[in-house]
């Protein structure tokens, strides 16, 4: 099957071949038919979606031709959407209903996009597989016995399965990029600050970023064009250079492009079949005039340790507010300490508890300097590695995962093995760099993705380069056969 891109939807809506109401009704019907099989969605407000669709139709009749007008969007369940809950994949969230829209959601709504549903996720965005949700495991649309990747499991699976052409996830250490690779779609982790985090439930604040997910790089650019920009509610937000090129994104020229291959990433841990797919993709770029050269990121061998020391420390701090006093579904008790203990013990899942405990240890007296502070210093060294590499090349190409999507349940008994699934994605998060995941091919019917990383604030150029690759290939247009 050939996937329907956002630009396809856009053309039909603009020419009158499809109304927004028809588009949303079709999307909701497909979602309801396939959901028992995938478990990608946590909640749907059909009335809210159809009301927004009718408003979009009125704007279309008035001649409005905005690039996101009438487009259905799925939203990860840790991003606030007014009138709907935000479970964050956790039992401790209880019956929380968001009283406001996150900045990125408000900007999409103002542009006429239609929020379709909230998406399942690993609890508090902690996971690489989509198996750590209190609302059940999300399944990979290409093979229901395999994981879709995490933590943005539902948001990615929704695009892969054709529920909607656009979705929003969050990426802390690879949470939109890894599942994009497993499910055969495109996803961007922007430069830190390019998208406002206001209205996103914080997990690890110095690493968290909203990540758009779509079929193609051009589709990602369309949504990014209305979401980016400085936000007074988020002091870390910033303006994106060249953002005016996003609405009508054009593929860049590949001739003369210098692509760096970090020698530390193409090691024995990488599946030979995956490596072959990546080499074929890079060969295709080279045939168009790109120059592929070896670079070194010597401190990347410390990336997993550094990432999980920083991540768990920030998790421990951020999740301390879920104690049943102001936040969290309270477990009644006459004793305050017992109430807090029971609320957290019954509300948090195993992975959340593990990271809270590890983070509390890292931040404790006598260990802060040995663990957390040292990790911050190594983070600086990792950032400098990239700065040196970008003096020689324009973009860096890496694998997304050592293998294709693995079977459900195959790694849950070994937290360390699960953490190593992020080995190729955490480095860019530590360095606050933009990283684009796009489909590169298939191994035994399962998608394989490739990751392109650019210098800080090169997001637009990175998307233009991704668009150029996708004009040479059709991997991103392949869709799993879910009709039954």
Full pLDDT tens readout for the chain, 484 residues:
577 899 999 999 999 999 999 999 999 999 999 999 999 999 999 999 999 999 999 999 999 999 999 999 999 999 999 989 999 999 999 999 999 999 999 999 999 999 999 999 999 999 999 999 999 999 999 999 999 999 999 999 999 999 999 999 999 999 999 999 999 999 999 999 999 999 999 999 999 999 999 999 999 999 999 999 999 999 999 999 999 999 999 999 999 999 999 999 988 789 999 999 999 999 999 999 999 999 999 999 999 999 999 999 999 999 999 999 988 999 988 899 999 999 999 999 999 999 999 999 999 988 999 999 999 999 999 999 999 999 999 999 999 999 999 999 999 999 889 999 999 999 999 999 999 999 999 999 999 999 999 999 999 999 999 999 999 999 999 999 987 4
Helix or strand or coil: residue 97? strand
CA 53 to centroid of chain Cα atoms: 25
First and final C-alpha spacing in the chain: 13
Helix axes 303-318, 374-389, angle to 10 degrees: 130
Rounded CA gap, 309 and 314, in Å? 9
CA gap 379, 401 in Å, rounded? 21
d(CA 356, CA 331): 19
Cα–Cα separations (whole angstroms), residue 74 to 67, 168, 199, 246, 449: 17, 6, 16, 21, 22
Given the residues 87, 90, 175, 237, select the one marked as catalytic.
175
- In angstroms, the CA 304 to CA 128 distance is 13
Copy the structure tokens of residue 168.
Answer: 């929003």
Catalytic, 296? Answer no
Catalytic residue among 87, 129, 151, 160: 151
Strand order in the sheet with 291-295: 41-44, 114-119, 72-76, 166-171, 209-214, 186-189, 435-443, 446-453, 395-399, 258-262, 291-295
**148 within 8 A of 404, measured Cβ to Cβ:** no
Q: What is the pLDDT of residues 435-481, one digit of tens each?
A: 999 999 999 999 999 999 999 999 999 999 999 999 999 999 999 99
Among 76, 118, 218, 411, which one carries the catalytic annotation? 76
Cα distance between residue 282 and residue 273, in whole Å: 15
Task: Give the up-direction half-sphere exposure of residue 443: CA atoms within 13 A in the CB hemisphere.
Answer: 20
Go through 20-43 and write b for each residue having 16 or more CB atoms within 10 A of its CB, e for each that does not: bbebbeebbebbeebbeebbbbbe
Sign of CA dihedral 233, 239, 244, 249: negative
Q: Counting Cβ atoms within 10 Å, is residue 418 exposed (0-12), middle (13-18) or buried (19+)?
A: buried
CA 223, CA 218: separation in Å to the nearest integer? Answer: 9
Q: Nearest 5°: CA angle at 252, between 246 and 258?
A: 125
- DSSP string computed for 207-227: T-EEEEEESSHHHHHHHHHHH
SS3 234: strand
Can 392 be counted among the known catalytic residues? Answer: no
- Euclidean distance between CA atoms 105 and 142, whole angstroms: 29
**Cross-strand partners of 399:** 450
* Distance, CA of 203 to CA of 22 (rounded, Å): 37
DSSP state letters, 402-456? SSSPPBTTSSTT-HHHHHGGGTTTHHHHHTT--EEEEEEEEETTEEEEEEEE-ST
pTM recorded for the entire structure: 0.97
**CA–CA distance, 90 with 125 (Å, rounded to integer):** 10
Of 175, 157, 177, which Cα lies nearest the Cα of 167?
Answer: 157
Domains present along the chain, CATH in parentheses = 6-254+434-477 (3.90.1300.10)
Q: What is the pLDDT of residues 226-243, one digit of tens each?
A: 999 999 999 999 999 999
DSSP 475: G
* 76 carries an active-site annotation: yes
| Exposed e or buried b per residue across 80-118, where buried means at least 16 C-beta atoms within 10 angstroms of its C-beta | bbbebbbbbbbbbbbebebeebbbbbbbbbebbbbbbbb
């Amino acid at each position: 099957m050939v996937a329907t891109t956002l630009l396809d939807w856009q053309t039909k809506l603009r020419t009158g071949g499809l109304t927004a109401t028809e588009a949303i009704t079709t999307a909701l019907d497909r979602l309801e038919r396939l959901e028992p099989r995938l478990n990608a969605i946590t909640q749907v407000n059909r009335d809210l979606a159809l009301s927004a669709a009718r408003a979009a139709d009125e704007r279309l009749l008035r001649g409005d031709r905005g690039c996101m007008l009438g487009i259905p969007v799925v939203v990860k369940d840790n991003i606030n959407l007014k009138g709907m809950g935000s479970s964050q994949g956790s039992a401790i969230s209880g019956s929380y209903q968001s009283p406001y829209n996150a900045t990125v959601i408000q900007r999409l709504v103002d542009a006429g996009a239609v929020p379709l549903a909230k998406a399942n996720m690993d609890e508090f965005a902690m996971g690489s597989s989509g198996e750590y949700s209190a609302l059940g495991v999300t399944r990979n649309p290409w093979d229901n016995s395999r994981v879709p990747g995490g933590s943005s499991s539902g948001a990615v699976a929704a695009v892969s399965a054709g529920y909607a052409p656009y979705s929003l996830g969050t990426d802390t250490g690879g949470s939109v990029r890894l599942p994009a690779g497993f499910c055969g779609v495109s996803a961007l982790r922007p430069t830190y600050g390019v998208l406002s985090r206001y209205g996103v439930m914080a997990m690890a604040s110095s690493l968290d970023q909203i990540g758009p997910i779509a079929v193609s790089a051009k589709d990602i650019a369309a949504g990014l064009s209305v979401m980016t920009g400085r936000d007074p509610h988020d002091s870390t937000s910033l303006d994106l250079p060249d953002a005016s090129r996003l609405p009508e994104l054009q593929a860049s020229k590949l001739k003369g492009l210098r692509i760096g291959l970090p020698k530390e990433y193409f090691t024995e841990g990488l599946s030979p079949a995956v490596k072959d797919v990546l080499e074929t993709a890079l060969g295709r770029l080279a045939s168009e005039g790109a120059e592929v050269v070896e670079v070194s990121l010597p401190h990347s061998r410390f990336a997993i340790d550094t990432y999980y020391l920083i991540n768990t420390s920030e998790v421990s701090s951020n999740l301390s507010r879920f104690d049943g006093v102001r936040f969290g579904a309270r477990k009644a008790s006459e004793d305050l300490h017992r109430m807090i203990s029971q609320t957290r013990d019954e509300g948090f899942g195993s992975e959340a508890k593990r990271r809270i405990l590890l983070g509390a240890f890292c931040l404790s007296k006598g260990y802060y300097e040995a663990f957390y502070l040292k990790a911050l210093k190594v983070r600086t060294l990792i950032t400098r590695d990239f700065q040196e590499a970008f003096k020689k090349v324009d973009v860096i190409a890496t694998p997304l995962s050592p293998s294709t999507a693995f079977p459900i349940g195959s790694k849950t008994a070994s937290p360390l093995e699960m953490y190593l699934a992020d080995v190729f994605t955490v480095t860019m998060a530590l360095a606050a760099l933009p990283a684009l995941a796009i489909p590169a091919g298939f191994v035994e019917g399962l998608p394989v993705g490739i990751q392109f990383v650019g210098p800080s604030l090169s997001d637009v150029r990175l998307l233009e380069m991704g668009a150029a690759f996708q004009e040479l290939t059709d991997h991103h247009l392949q869709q799993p056969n879910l009709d039954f």
